[in-house]
Structure 1
Amino acid sequence: MTLDLSPAPGAAPPARRIARHARTEALLLARNGEQLLLAAVIPAATLVGGAIAGPRLGIGLGALAPSVLALAIWSTAFTSCAIATGFDRRYQVLERLAASPLRRSGLVAGKAAAIVIIVLAQVALLAAVAALLGWRPALAPAAACSAALAVLAAVCAFVAGALILAGTLRAELTLACANLLYLAGLFAGILPVGGAGWLGAVRWLPTGALGEALRAAGAGHPDWLAVATLVAWAIVLTMIARRVFRWTS
């Protein structure tokens, strides 16, 4: 005689666990007022305000729109990720999820997938707003490829930087530093401010490289140097994050 113990409780398959965790992380980010402010409200307001005042400052929509896209990616992949991870670490959420069937690798994969989802939604929303304002990018195939690679490398670099911050500092200090770095990033290549010489200096930063890559792609030509700079930052910051990130506070 055999016992039928169905439905046989157990962990879901790894792909389903990661997908569900990514959905949860994305919903938590979308429902958080501060994160929503950083992810959508501030970039959209910058885009609309810049479209109105930009011509007086010598900044056209062709440079402003890709810069705002870079701002949205910076806000989500670095600032929001650092703050959320810092407080998850403080309240031992990371430790408990890492001990669940999700495991550490699934936890990281789920967070990464959630950030990619939010970034794609941001890019779609802001590109639509920019198009309504009159933005018409000249995206050649090579330029579009370089933009996609730049965004991918930038997300990796920004998330790694966020994990370095959140995994080594206390949550309150992470919050303060992430917001300060967010503001610093605006003037370190994300927005097209300053002279050519100043931009030449900051283009070696990940924020500067992303801004330059997207502005060049919007003009119809790729900036492979900026893409290579972002890839190098992504590799270096990921290696540092693997060594210094602590799961418990």
Structure 2
Amino acid sequence: MSGPAATRAFSPAPGGAPLARMVLAQSRMEARLMLRNGEQLLLAIVIPVIVLVGGVAAAGRIGIDLDGHRAVDVLTPGVLALAVMSTAFTSVAIATGFERRYGVIKLLGSSPLPRHGLLLGKVLALLNVVALQLVVLVVVGLVLGWEPTLAAPPRTLAGVVLAVALGTAAFAALGLFVAGALRAEATLALANLVYLLLMAGGGVVLPVGTYGAAGGLIQWLPSGALGEAMRSALVDAVVDSRSLLVLAGWALLGTAMTARTFKWE
């Protein structure tokens, strides 16, 4: 073939792919990188599984007051909330901090993928990893004898979906805030420290009522609100509007702080 027809058939068409295709490609890459990273996998799956199994085994010996509920029925929703926090906050903060340090985000920001597309890709990857975590932990919980409350399935499902969505948004926004404002080494130290503190005393694994007088303050933390929202949905089949509003407030605050302080390099 030659002539004008051949020129039209094989002429180059420079330009970026459609935004949706670029975002999906970016999200697949982000998810693969997150799951291949040993530290990320430890935070995402291994630690929550250890906390769930160890907590159920030790609950009877410690004598924690769980309002008459079995330990596995209370701890499993809390560990599901812990898994969301570990990935949405700690993993996102550490990964983004080191991507800034090595100039990865700067290079991606100059590619055909727009910066809002980069963030959308990160969010989709994050949701994929969170979904995988929840599946693994639900299976572990069921093996341990967990019996989620299904008295009102629509309310239970709505409560879980809203808690996971708003919890992911709140902790991801806070993680990006930390990663965008601090150096990578400081982000690594602070993200791990906050994770440990919230896991131990943030009301995410155990009900805020077990912390005594401090529970009144802990319920306003994003960790306490996420834990209470998950327990309300899976233990009491109730949509905890107050906790969901607290999570929405933290998501808006984190987004505003990230928009004002995030540095791409």
Q: Same fold (TM over 0.5)?
A: yes
Counterpart mapping for 1:77-88 below 5 A: 77-88=88-99
- Deviation, 1:223, is 1.2
Partner of 2:262: 245
Determine the C-alpha separation between the residues in 2 that align with 1:222 and 1:55.
Answer: 28
CA distance in 2, matches of 1:196, 1:145: 29
- Written as runs of structure 1 = structure 2, the 5 A alignment for 1:37-52 is 37-52=42-57
- Structure 1 residue 232, shift from structure 2 partner: 1.1
Q: CA deviation at 1:154?
A: 1.0
Letter in 2 for 1:145: A
- The normalised TM-score by structure 2 is 0.90
Give 1:53 shift. Answer: 1.1
What residue is the counterpart of 2:22 in the other structure? 17
- Aligned equivalents of 1:128 and 1:73: distance in 2? 16
Match of 1:94 in 2: 105
CA RMSD, 1 decimal: 1.4
Q: Percent identity?
A: 47
Alignment of 1:1-249 (within 5 A): 1-2=3-4, 3=7, 4-6=9-11, 8-57=13-62, 58=64, 60-139=71-150, 140=152, 141-186=154-199, 187-192=201-206, 194-219=210-235, 220-248=237-265
1:22 maps to a residue whose letter is S
| Residue correspondences, number | 248
Give me the whole-angstrom Cα distance separating, in 2, the residues matched to 1:78 and 1:7: 43
Amino acid corresponding to residue 52 of structure 1 in structure 2? A
Moved over 4 A (4+): none
Report the TM-score, using the length of structure 1 for normalisation: 0.95
Cα deviation for residue 49 of structure 1 reads: 1.0
Distance 1:204 1:61 in 2: 25
The aligned amino acid for 1:200 is: G
- Determine the C-alpha separation between the residues in 1 that align with 2:11 and 2:206: 61
For residues 39-82 of structure 1, give each alpha carbon's deviation from its aligned partner in whole angstroms, at most 9, with x where no partner exists: 00000111111121122223511110011001110000000000
Q: Which runs of 5+ in 2 are unaligned?
A: none
Q: Counterparts of 2:27 and 2:253 in 1: how far apart (Å)?
A: 25
Q: Alpha-carbon deviation of 1:7?
A: 6.2
Letter in 2 for 1:159: A
Counterpart AA for 1:204: W
CA shift, 1:8, in A, is: 3.4
Amino acid at match of 1:222: V
Task: Tell me the secondary structure at the aligned position of residue 189 of structure 1.
Answer: coil
